[in-house]
Amino acid sequence: MRKYAFSARFRRALVAACAASVLFGLSVAFAAEKPVTTPRPTAVPSLYDTLPAPCDVLVVLAHPGDETLFFPGLLGTLAGGRGLDVRVLYLSCASEELRAFAEETLAASGVTNPPEFWNLGGIYYETRQHAANNCGGVDKLIRNMTDLIRYYRPKYVVTHDPEGEYGHGLHVLASEIVTRACANSHSPKKLANSVKTYGIHAPEYIYYHTAEPEGAVVLDLNEHLTETTLRDANAARYDVLRPLLPIGIDITRDAYTQPLFRAEAAPGSSGTDAGLFSENDPSVPRTEYRAPEVVEGDYCGVFSETESAAARPEEGFWEYRSPNLAVTVEHREFKTDEGQDVAYNVAHIFTQNEDAFVPGIRETKAHEYPWFMARRYKAVLAITGDNMTVAEGKYKGIIIRDGEVFNDRAGADTLVMGADGSLRILPAGEQTAEQLLAEGVRNTFSFGPTLIANGRIQHEQLHTSKVQRKNPRVAIGMVEPGHLVVIQVDGRQRGYSLGVTLEMLAAMFWAEGCTEAYNLDGGRSAALVFMGEHINRHAGNSADIQRALPDALMWGRSDLVPGPYEPVYNIGNGPRKEPYLEKEPAVK
């Protein structure tokens, strides 16, 4: 047997490595026994665990005692009075006595959820910078707060005044990290790992405690509990709190203890919610809903008495309106956390006529390019389907087109198109084609996987799918019946767009407000055609050229769409300087 000789240097390095390994193991063992000193949300054991039911209100306070000093009556009114699901986070906990005080106060107020504590050190900081210097970094706090908001999914967030009530540094910092975390939490582009674990979420409103009555929303302390009862209860809690405080704080300054709040619509919120404090309070600001980075303009869901179409490709915007159909398409680009480029197109489709949807099917046995099929049907909008005739039927579910069954298996989930402009997703094997036809279903699609079902991102399916890597994509989602969303992502083009994973794609639909979303055929098949012209583009080389397809999903019919043998400038491989002409077959 051959013997190996090692140099003295190598032996010393080997011994050092082994020693380091042992020390590392010991350090981990000791660290496991130490209390947590860095802020973090409650851990989720795996991506597949069910997240907690969304709470109504998340209250973020600097430290125990603030609920009594600056927010008297808030928790008792919301939790004990209205019965709302309230969660409370304290950034700092200076002592076990204050922790116990906070837990008792919350329980007495009717808050059934245990409070969370981040150990950020001392209870008082003179300035925001002083607080930030002692809290392990503001960016880290914002990341953890973003996780927390995505995890608990609150409808409303309540926190301190941006000026820190009387200038308290930790109060100022609390307001800052809540504001910046809410700006992150609704965006699929922010903190990709967090998106994969928790999904994205946009609270409706952020409420900042304020001392300025002008423009403030007033918490009605008499709605469920009398003001006298709340004042007496708060005074009793204050008597318990006073000896626990390391510094003297005077709560007789009425401006700091009044139930006044300034409301702001959170980034990405619908802007249609009535607000936390009063269903008809005119002081609650209203904002028109805009999905992230939407081109400004009042067009979403607006039908027109006359037919019109507009294309502004230099602005990345296209739209169509008619009495029964409104379609907008926007081109967007961003960089991932890793600095990779992503370019995609988002279409919002609004219908109020069951004839708005058209299942596109090839005319002969030969597949057709998407632009050609769209022009043949005179379709306003067309996207890739599920490759209905591909010889992989065993991997698919039920495929029905215009009442004709092409596949009836249980290999995948099935997307059912409703006549009312709705989508629903059937788990594999739940129904047969015969049953669906008996219900009056005329169109189903099966490619998958399911991205969002019943308002929940389907993490397990996405992480086990064989097509989960970054790729060009086409998928469809539903905000509500009559309001559909299509997202088409370009890919495999370095310097322009590499594509997205299924997790990223699901997050993009969530950001658009979809409760259902389903992945369709992508890769070289990915296509989005508006008024007979491709909006998307492939590289156009031998490895990535637009593929001819057997089917498509289409909306609308319009004589404004050119015919299949008229000039076309984008056949899916990027715009051309000279138009492409399809040779019309000779008449026999």
Mean pLDDT over 63-92 rounds to: 85
Task: Cite the DSSP H helix spans in 439-544.
Answer: 459-464, 502-511
Contacts of 528 (CB under 8 A, 6+ apart): 329, 345, 347, 381, 382, 383, 384, 474, 486, 488, 534, 535, 536
The number of residues making up the chain comes to 588
Mean pLDDT over 409-419 rounds to: 93
* pLDDT for 291 beyond 50: no
Mean pLDDT over 13-18 rounds to: 48
Lowest-confidence pick of 95-104, 250-259, 495-504, 579-588: 250-259
Strand partners, 533: 530
Task: Return the pLDDT at 457.
Answer: 81
User: What confidence tens digit (pLDDT) does each residue in 221-239 have?
Assistant: 655 555 555 556 666 777 7
Cα dist. 562→368, 532, 586 in Å? 16, 6, 20
- Measured in whole angstroms, how far is the alpha carbon of residue 172 from the centre of its chain? 27
Mean pLDDT over 57-70 rounds to: 87
Residue 348 vs residue 2, higher pLDDT:
348
User: What confidence tens digit (pLDDT) does each residue in 422-462 have?
Assistant: 999 999 999 999 999 999 999 999 999 999 998 888 887 88
- Measured in whole angstroms, how far is the alpha carbon of residue 138 from the centre of its chain? 23
* pLDDT for 515 beyond 80: yes
* pLDDT for 60 beyond 50: yes
**How far is Cα 275 from Cα 78, in angstroms, rounded to an integer?**
13
How many CA within 13 A on the CB side of residue 39? 29
How many CA within 13 A on the CB side of residue 517? 31
- Pairing type for strands 86-90 and 116-117 reads parallel
- With a pLDDT cut of 70, the percent of the chain lying above it is 76
- Quote the tokens at residue 118: 């981040």
Cα dist. 26→13, 22, 31, 495 in Å? 20, 6, 8, 46
Task: Cite the DSSP H helix spans in 114-226.
Answer: 128-133, 138-152, 164-167, 169-185, 192-198
Mean pLDDT over 77-103 rounds to: 85
Q: Tell me how crowded residue 359 is: count the other CB atoms within 10 A of its CB.
A: 21
Q: Is 400 helix (H, G, I), strand (E, B) or coil?
A: strand
Of residues 247, 208, 239, 168, the one with CA closest to residue 71 = 208
**How far is Cα 560 from Cα 304, in angstroms, rounded to an integer?**
15
Residue-averaged pLDDT of the chain: 79
**How far is Cα 81 from Cα 98, in angstroms, rounded to an integer?**
25
Cα dist. 155→49, 130, 169, 392 in Å? 21, 31, 27, 44
User: What confidence tens digit (pLDDT) does each residue in 98-120 have?
Assistant: 888 889 888 888 899 999 888 77
Task: Return the pLDDT at 390.
Answer: 67
Edge to edge, the sheet with strand 551-557 lists 357-361, 551-557, 379-384, 528-530, 533-534
| Banded pLDDT at 579 (limits 50, 70, 90) | confident
- With a pLDDT cut of 90, the percent of the chain lying above it is 39
| Banded pLDDT at 80 (limits 50, 70, 90) | confident
* pLDDT for 19 beyond 50: no
* pLDDT for 14 beyond 60: no
Mean pLDDT over 376-393 rounds to: 89
The one-character DSSP state at 569 is: S
| Banded pLDDT at 70 (limits 50, 70, 90) | confident
| Maximum average pLDDT range among 133-147, 264-278, 544-558, 570-584 | 544-558
